[in-house]
Amino acid sequence: MEKQWFTISVYSENNVGLLNRISGIFLKRHINIESLNVSKSEIDEVSKFTIVVNTTQQWVRNIVGQIEKQIEVIKAFYHTDEETIYQESALFKIASNLLFDERQIQNIIKENNSQIVTVAREFFVLAKSGRRFEIDQMYEELKPFGIMQFVRSGRIAVSKEEMQITSLLKEFQES
Amino acid sequence: METLKEKQKAQKSATTIKVSGAEAIIHCLLAEGVDLLYGYPGGAIMPVYDELYKFQDRLTHILTRHEQGATHAAQGYARVSGKVGVAMATSGPGATNLVTGLADAQIDSTPMVCITGQVPRHLLGSDAFQETDIIGISTPVTKWNYQITKASEIPEIMAKAFYIAKSGRPGPVLVDITKNAQFDEFEFAYEACTGVRSYNPVPKPDMKSIESAAELINTAKKPYIVWGQGVILGEAEAQLKALVEKAGIPAAWTILGASALDTAHPLNVGMVGMHGNYGPNILTNECDVLIAIGMRFDDRVTGSLDTYAKQAKVIHFEIDRAEIDKNVKADVAVLGDSKETLGLLLPLIQDNKHEAWHDEFKKKYQIEFDQVIKNDIHPTKEGLTMGEVIEEINLASENKAVIVTDVGQHQMIACRYAKFNRSKSNITSGGLGTMGFALPAAIGAKMGAMDREVVAIIGDGGYQMTIQELGVIFQHNVPVKIVVLNNDHLGMVRQWQELFFDKRYASTVMVNPDFVKIAEGYHIESKRVTERKDLRATVQEMMASKKPYFLEVKVEKEDNVFPMIPSGASVSDIRLK
């Protein structure tokens, strides 16, 4: 079976140790996590993990089954790239003098639809949200001028299909 | 010691009393119906032991000689009784010594709660004396774990621990309690846990899948049941028997499913798997409908998945959703508790007989009997075989004993030849294959079923991994029967070396002590049998004894266990020699 990119979404309680429990499921199967994001979700007191992996359909099914089995996990899903709307965010820290010395920088900012987050005497910071390739493209464009620091977030994603966590939680409480 | 109720009365409080965290733990255990636990004290758990001292008239603590023994004893207790086994240890090395038992209970779905002490909250992360991250260490081998750092968390977490350990697919839970939480006082009130919002232990049965299963079963020409421990854990023995009889389906068992249906039942065709019976393995690839009940298609059961039951429609009755399609794709998956789902299935099943198909199993059994079984249990050669010892135990116990086995050749032979007429009678380390399991597990099994004979059958290798638990048997006069089948080798590894490593016997020859003298050192009645003529009388003497009894049988050094499916081979390629 062919490997492909999957986005795993996990709705869970917000408890100490759950991250370790979930990451251990990947470790046990020798599968590398490409990116991981933990945040609150659309439901109060419910956390959402967004995990990106490159693996086979069979393995992602197995992993999601094992994740969902964990006591504090409410529900886990996996989706292909086509089934989700997803983005990443990146920050670029650039020397301030370049803004004035290199006119091309301003074009890069405009063409990439990125925002200037802050400008200080020594440096300024650009933010860019988008698909991985868009961020990579901006990175390549800025690289010749020198990037002081760069960071990119894990993927965040919402599925096109409904997740129905609220009704699921209700069902759990009634059963 | 005052009971909780008396104390509440005295304090004139309807719902709460003020107690220390340590005392609260005892009240939680009592509220969960625990009257027996296994453990080993140490610095970080001392406040709880102090309370155990005060409550010793209501809660028996058995001091095992190693924390691993405490976990296996708790497992043995849980497996015969169906109740939650409890083990306790201190922080650091005490806690890490529980890990093997936790892993064993996790893979064999055994309900167990382990309680560990931990350094005080303010010392966490300081590399304090006997500090270890047992939550991190135990996470992959527990169904759930939790670190309590405040006394007030104790009632809710303990209630949750027991609920999670025993509900749905059971498993081990570890609760780590910092020492400050044991000392601190708080207003205690206990409420049993009845649910956790993110946890759905028993999926509701779906009638559509049950109807599809019934249709497949009713129209099958060569249906075949393979059941596992799910039948025992779900207490669905009667439903299994009814299904087997009504539909006339030959039924085989995985090692952990043994004893759910009498071994003597005409439709019980034997064990599947690497050293299982010939027919049950080979005919897996000839059935048209494979009905898997409460089993998980372990690799030791299936051999190569590429050639496993490819011709068959597969029906999988299972409580754990994650097991569906994990190893073998199910055509019909029936989720739920086996007792409930089989109960719903039964009225839809038509009376049937599959005599010609059943005859296939009988024919295969005859082949296996002639080539393997006869020589194992009625040998004519000089040396003693493991099989004939098991056969003598069957005779002397009238098939009523609980058989506890360790891991290796003796385990396979015991599970192949032991006869059972009652459920929850085969206690063994199946999934993890933990050498050293049997002796402490037998202690727990005996204490969980005092009315039953418990016979531990152990190899000379595994016996020495937890041999110190003889101390418990001696101290508490636990009347277990210990049979060491001594071939002076790590027999199963030696067998593989013979078959697959050109007889290079690397580190498998055991230089053994005088086992009889060791048992005598613990004041346990002991015998050694080296010749066939003494076997029957000695086994009978052992079984008649009301006290602990140790029997060493010197068996052939280089016997092999057959049939055998070589690792990674197909069930069709099972070897008889």
Confidence of residue A174 (pLDDT cuts 50, 70, 90): low
Partners of A8 in the β-ladder: A51, A78
For B92, the token pair is: 């650091």
| Sequence letter at residue B413 | I
| B161/B306 same-domain check | no
Collect the ranges in chain B with pLDDT lower than 50: 12-14
A98 and A80 share a domain?
no
- Judge if B144 and B287 occupy the same domain: no
Residues A60 and A103 in one domain: no
Question: What are the angstrom distances between the C-alpha of B245 and each of A92, B239, B252, B293, B360?
Answer: 72, 10, 13, 15, 18
Evaluate whether residue B295 is within a structural domain.
yes
CATH of the domain at B264: 3.40.50.1220
Do the Cβ atoms of B147 and A17 come within 8 Å?
yes
Cis peptide before B563 (omega within 30 of 0): yes
Q: Return the residue of A nearest to B139 by Cα.
A: A21
Structural domain range at position B85? 4-188
Q: How many CB pairs under 8 A join A and B?
A: 55
Q: Which of B130, B371, B468, B540 is catalytic?
A: B130
Q: Does residue B438 share a domain with residue B340?
A: no
Do A66 and A109 lie in one domain? The reply is no
B198 touches chain A (CB under 8 A): yes
Residues B479-491 as b/e (b if ≥16 CB within 10 A, e otherwise) read: ebbbbbbbbbbbb
In a domain, A138, yes or no: yes
Q: Do residues B165 and B214 share a domain? A: no
Same domain, A80 and A31: yes
Structural domain contains residue A13: yes
Nearest chain A residue to B328, by CA? A58
pLDDT for residue B11: 53
DSSP B409-457: HHHHHHHHH---SSSS-EEE--SS--TT-HHHHHHHHHHH-TTS-EEEE
The CATH number linked to B412 is 3.40.50.970
Is residue A10 within 8 A of residue A51, CB to CB? The reply is yes
pLDDT at position A170 over 90: no
Among residues B492, B405, B433, B442, the alpha carbon closest in space to that of B104 is found at B433
Counted residue by residue, chain B has a size of 577
Whether B568 maps to a domain, the answer reads no
Same domain, B174 and B231: no
Catalytic-labelled residue, pool B158, B271, B274, B492:
B492
Indicate if A79 and A163 belong to the same structural domain: yes
The alpha carbon of residue A40 is apart from the nearest alpha carbon of chain B, in Å, by 16
Note the pLDDT of residue B13. 47
Residue A36 sits at φ, ψ, to 5 deg, of -145, 130
B144 in a structural domain: yes
Residue B570 lies in a domain: no
**Are B199 and A17 in contact (CB < 8 Å)?**
no
Predicted pLDDT at B432: 98
CB < 8 Å to A72, chain B: 144, 198-199
Instruction: Give, as one character, the DSSP assignment of residue B509.
Output: B
CATH code: domain of residue A140 = 3.30.70.1150
Q: What is the pLDDT of residue B2?
A: 55
* Residue A79 sits in the same domain as residue A100: no
Question: A139 is in which domain, residue-wise?
Answer: 86-152
Interface check B135 vs A, CB under 8 A: yes
The SS3 call for residue B178 is strand
Q: Does B266 touch chain A (CB under 8 A)?
A: no
Residues A113 and A148 in one domain: yes
% of chain A residues with pLDDT over 90: 85
The helix or strand, by DSSP H or E, that contains position A31, with its residue range, turns out to be: none
- One domain for residues A81 and A106: no
**Residue A174: inside a domain:** no
Residues of A in contact with B164 (CB under 8 A): 71
Nearest CA in chain A to B164: A71
C-alpha A26/C-alpha A53 separation (Å) is 9
* Residue B70: inside a domain: yes
Domain co-membership, A56 together with A104: no
Decide if B72 contacts B101 (C-beta within 8 A): yes
Of B373, B404, B406, B388, nearest to B492 (Cα)?
A: B406
Name the one residue in this structure whose structure tokens are 């089989």. B342
Looking at the structure of chain B, the number of domains it has is 3
Same domain, B223 and B300: yes
Q: Are residues B387 and B346 in the same domain?
A: no
Q: Does residue B170 form part of some domain?
A: yes
Between chains, do A172 and B200 touch, taking CB under 8 Å as contact?
yes
> Considering the entire predicted model, what is its pTM?
0.95
Tokens 């199963």 correspond to what residue? B492
Instruction: List the one residue out of B519, B512, B454, B459 whose CA is nearest residue B485.
Output: B459
Does residue A50 form part of some domain? yes
Residue A102 sits in the same domain as residue A17: no
Nearest to A12 among B196, B198, B322 (CB): B198
**Residues A71, A107 within the same domain:** no
- Residue in the structure block whose two tokens are 């099914």: A61
- H/E run at residue B558: none
Q: What share of chain B is helix, strand, coil (3-state, %, to 5)?
A: 45, 20, 40
| Structural contact between residues B265 and B290, judged by C-beta atoms closer than 8 angstroms | no
Confidence of residue A169 (pLDDT cuts 50, 70, 90): confident
Question: Residue type at A32?
Answer: N
Q: What is the mean pLDDT of residues A108-118?
A: 96
Nearest CA in chain B to A67: B322
Q: What's the length of chain A?
A: 175
Q: Is residue A117 part of a domain?
A: yes
Looking at the fold, whether B338 and B407 belong to one and the same domain comes out as no
Based on the fold, state whether residues A109 and A44 are members of the same structural domain: no
Same domain, B32 and B143: yes
Active-site residue flag, B501: no
Among candidates B140, B198, B320 on the partner chain, residue whose Cβ is nearest the Cβ of A13: B198
d(CA B65, CA B70): 8
Q: Has residue A173 been placed in a domain?
A: no
Has residue A22 been placed in a domain? yes
Specify the 3-state DSSP secondary structure of B326. coil
Among B146, B135, B150, which residue's Cα sits nearest to residue B183?
Answer: B150
Domain identity same for B233 and B129: no
Overall domain count for chain A: 2
Residue B13 CB neighbour total at 10 angstroms: 14
Which residues in chain A are closer than 8 Å to B337, comparing Cβ atoms? none
Residue B234, helix vs strand vs coil: coil
Question: Reduced to 3 states, what is the DSSP secondary structure of residue B369?
Answer: helix
The pLDDT of residue A171: 73
| Cα-to-chain-centroid distance, residue B519 | 25
pLDDT at A168 over 90: no
Task: Examine the residue annotation and report whether B464 is marked as an active-site residue of this protein.
Answer: no
Whether residues B356 and B392 fall in one domain: no
A147-162 pLDDT tens trace: 999 999 999 999 998 8
Q: Within this chain, do residues B338 and B465 fall inside the same structural domain, yes or no?
A: no
Please give the Cα distance from B205 to B568 (Å, whole number). 35
CA distances from B524 to B412, B438, B480 (A): 27, 17, 10
* Inside any domain, residue B108: yes
The tokens describing A77, both together, are 């899903």
Q: Give me the CATH number covering residue A164.
A: 3.30.70.260
User: Is the residue at A114 inside a domain?
Assistant: yes
- Residues A173, B195: C-beta atoms closer than 8 Å: yes
What ipTM is given for this predicted complex?
0.92
Distance of alpha carbon B332 from alpha carbon A17, whole angstroms: 36
Asked if residue B220 is part of any domain, the answer here is yes
Residue among A20, A24, A175 minimizing CB distance to B200: A175
Chain B nearest-CA distance from A65, in A, is 5
- pLDDT tens for B297-329 read 999 999 999 999 999 999 999 999 999 999 999
Three-class HEC string of A107-150: HHHHHCCCEEEEECCCEEEEEEEECHHHHHHHHHHHHHHCCCEE
